[in-house]
């Protein structure tokens, strides 16, 4: 009977995780971010034509607008959008499913590690309602997929038996898939495998260690080749991992100029190595700070909500209780968890700007929720009275209900509005307007577009993949009666209506009017505004 009740509780947690990740998935976030659109359009192109947006056949790296996307998330998304169509719900569905499966994996991982079902169940429950993981799971981007594969790889590695290769092959395959799911996780592959090898050293023989070393060589060797042949290492026009040498040299030079020390000491204490170390230490340690975990998250409206931590306030106490309880009762397992927690934050410290802790440090999540689950269980040891224990657990449940309700209220009612600008809502609104008007005989000319504006239109208009490939090859954006121009109109000499053909719509970015001290030369027919009622696009009818 107890086993049946426990199983029903596990099913309830999976249902809860599913509802929180699938409900209104196509509505919140309110539109597709630039990264989501790049990834999803690449996946759609692969499914429909076997080529990426640049016309390359079945590539293993996807450089788009100076950013290299990884292949795994794109190839896994391809059948969803290829068969289900280009909608926000379908585009985000594989990532939501990966999030649900990660909740299940955290239960299995925790139970495998501690042989304690209550801790495992609570760890899975904490992840199911985690703001951090919900943000990852409802967003069509690589990080959530990488987290799933690394968690799967860790679980499979823990199941390795001496001289057996089955689980080891499966674990290493999962890690390779995670490695090629998200660039930030590449930094953690070696540290994680070293920690796992240390923990399982009694079950590993020489040929298994050779296989692990071979997997590491395969991962980084293939990455090097793909970087040379397909641009797999590009990030915003630069290579990843502290490769912006101009920025480093400039910072060091400024430090030396500001110092009054003798030249020898300037060179000793202000150089590239000291600069890189100071940046790394600041970024790395911030991932463990109470400010990041409990109050402010990060200054990124895409991956997180301002004014809210990655954990609920009460979880800070449960986390400390859990770490202490595990250290006292299961010293070796506790050290294993802490080592992996330390390794998981490395991408936040070593990766390029802008820092995005929510995704880069997301492998911290399994170990944080496991410790929190252990902390909640340890509360029951504070008293021997059953009624008192149940009272404590009811209080914990009430706290979670309150905090989760507050998060969901903010997420669905406030952040869906306030965070719209981070999800390119203005470009989505522009695309919707063009789709609505494109069937008329009027020419539509859009001026002052950003590099991603056309791709947002392609997603909304469900353009054929071959059409997008042609436009990327020709470098001119003309689709039927719609023309996109990346240049602004010279408003000092002409007007939007003079630049457009007769009987057409001229749509001009508000950025074309910025810093020019010019008024709108004639009254706009329509104005597309942001959620904050700031003008984004002006529409003129000729």
Inter-CA distances, 342 with 221, 247, 308, Å: 25, 27, 23
- The answer on pLDDT for 240 being more than 60 is no
User: What pLDDT is attached to residue 352?
Assistant: 58
User: What pLDDT is attached to residue 241?
Assistant: 53
Q: Which two tokens stand for residue 298?
A: 């990060």
Q: Which two tokens stand for residue 508?
A: 């001009």
**What pTM, to 2 d.p., does this model score?**
0.95
Look at 154 and 522; give whichever has higher pLDDT: 154
Per-residue pLDDT tens over the stretch 20-56: 999 999 999 999 999 999 999 999 999 999 999 999 9
Per-residue pLDDT tens over the stretch 436-454: 988 777 899 999 998 899 9
Cα separation, 542 vs 539, in Å, equals: 10
| Average pLDDT of every residue of the chain | 91
Q: Which residues, including other chains, have CB under 8 Å from residue 260's CB and lie 6 or more apart?
A: none
Residues 93-124 as b/e (b if ≥16 CB within 10 A, e otherwise) read: bbbbbbbbebbbbbbbbbbebbebebbbbbbb
Cα separation, 335 vs 349, in Å, equals: 21
User: What pLDDT is attached to residue 244?
Assistant: 65
User: What pLDDT is attached to residue 385?
Assistant: 87
Cα separation, 67 vs 500, in Å, equals: 33
Which range among 230-244, 251-265, 441-455 shows the weakest confidence by mean pLDDT? Answer: 230-244
Per-residue pLDDT tens over the stretch 148-175: 999 999 999 999 998 889 999 999 999 9
Q: Which two tokens stand for residue 71?
A: 């292949």
- Per-residue confidence band for 243, with pLDDT thresholds at 50, 70 and 90: low
Per-residue pLDDT tens over the stretch 196-217: 999 999 999 999 999 999 999 9
- The answer on pLDDT for 227 being more than 50 is yes
Helix (H, G, I), strand (E, B) or coil at 446: strand
Length of the chain equals: 542
Per-residue pLDDT tens over the stretch 1-29: 588 999 999 999 999 999 999 999 999 99
End-to-end CA distance of the chain: 75
- Closest of 91, 80, 73, 98 to residue 27, by C-alpha: 91
Q: Which two tokens stand for residue 179?
A: 């490695």
User: What pLDDT is attached to residue 530?
Assistant: 85
Q: Which two tokens stand for residue 87?
A: 């909608």
- Per-residue confidence band for 237, with pLDDT thresholds at 50, 70 and 90: very low
Element (H, E) at 447: strand 443-447
The crossing angle, in degrees rounded to 10, of helices 365-379 and 117-128 is 120
Per-residue pLDDT tens over the stretch 98-128: 999 999 999 999 999 999 999 999 999 999 9
- Closest of 319, 310, 331 to residue 375, by C-alpha: 319
Look at 491 and 190; give whichever has higher pLDDT: 190
């Amino acid at each position: 009977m107890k086993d049946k009740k426990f199983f029903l509780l596990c099913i309830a947690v999976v249902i809860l995780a599913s509802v929180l990740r699938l409900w209104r998935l196509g509505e919140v976030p309110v539109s597709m971010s630039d990264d989501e659109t790049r990834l999803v359009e690449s996946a759609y192109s692969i499914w429909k034509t076997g080529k990426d947006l640049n016309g390359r056949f079945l590539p293993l790296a996807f450089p788009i607008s100076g950013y290299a996307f990884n292949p795994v998330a794109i190839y896994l998304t391809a059948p969803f959008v290829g068969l289900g169509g280009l909608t926000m719900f379908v585009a985000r569905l594989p990532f939501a499913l990966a999030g649900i499966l990660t909740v299940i994996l955290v239960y299995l991982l925790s139970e495998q590690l501690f042989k304690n079902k209550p801790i495992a169940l609570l760890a899975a429950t904490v992840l199911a309602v985690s703001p951090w993981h919900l943000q990852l799971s409802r967003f069509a981007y690589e990080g959530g997929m990488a987290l799933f594969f690394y968690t799967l790889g860790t679980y499979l590695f823990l199941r390795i038996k001496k001289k057996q290769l089955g689980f080891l092959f499966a674990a290493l395959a999962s890690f390779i898939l995670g490695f090629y799911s998200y660039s930030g996780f590449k930094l953690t592959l070696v540290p994680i495998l070293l920690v796992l090898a240390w923990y399982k050293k009694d079950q590993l023989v020489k040929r298994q260690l050779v296989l692990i070393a071979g997997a590491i060589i395969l991962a980084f060797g293939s990455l090097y080749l793909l970087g040379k042949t397909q641009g797999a290492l590009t990030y915003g026009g630069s290579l990843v991992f502290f490769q912006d040498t101009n920025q480093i040299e400039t910072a060091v030079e400024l430090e030396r100029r500001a110092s009054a020390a003798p030249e020898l000491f300037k060179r000793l204490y202000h150089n590239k190595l000291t600069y890189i170390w100071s940046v790394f230490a600041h970024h790395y340690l911030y991932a463990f700070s109470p400010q990041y975990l409990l109050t402010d998250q990060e200054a990124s409206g895409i991956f997180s909500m301002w004014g809210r931590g990655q954990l609920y306030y009460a979880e800070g106490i449960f986390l400390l209780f859990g770490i202490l309880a595990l250290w006292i009762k299961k010293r070796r397992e506790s050290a294993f968890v802490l080592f992996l927690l330390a390794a998981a934050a490395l991408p936040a410290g070593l990766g390029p700007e802008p820092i995005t802790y929510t995704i880069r440090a997301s492998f911290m999540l399994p170990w944080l929720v496991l410790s929190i689950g252990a902390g909640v269980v340890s509360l029951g040891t504070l008293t021997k009275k059953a009624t008192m224990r149940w009272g404590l657990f009811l209080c914990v449940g009430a706290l979670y209900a309150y905090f989760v309700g507050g998060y969901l209220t903010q997420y669905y009612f406030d952040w869906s509005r306030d965070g719209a600008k981070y999800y390119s809502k203005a470009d989505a609104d522009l695309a919707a307007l063009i789709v609505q008007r494109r069937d008329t005989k009027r020419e539509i000319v859009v001026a002052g577009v950003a590099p991603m504006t056309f791709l947002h239109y392609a997603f909304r208009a469900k353009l054929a993949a071959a059409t997008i490939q042609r436009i990327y090859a020709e470098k001119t954006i003309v689709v039927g009666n719609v023309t996109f121009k990346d240049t602004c109109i010279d408003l000092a000499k002409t007007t939007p209506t003079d630049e457009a053909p007769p009987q057409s719509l001229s749509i001009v970015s508000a950025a074309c009017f910025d810093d020019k001290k010019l008024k709108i030369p004639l009254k706009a027919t329509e104005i597309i505004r942001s959620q904050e009622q700031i003008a984004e696009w002006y529409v003129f009818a000729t």
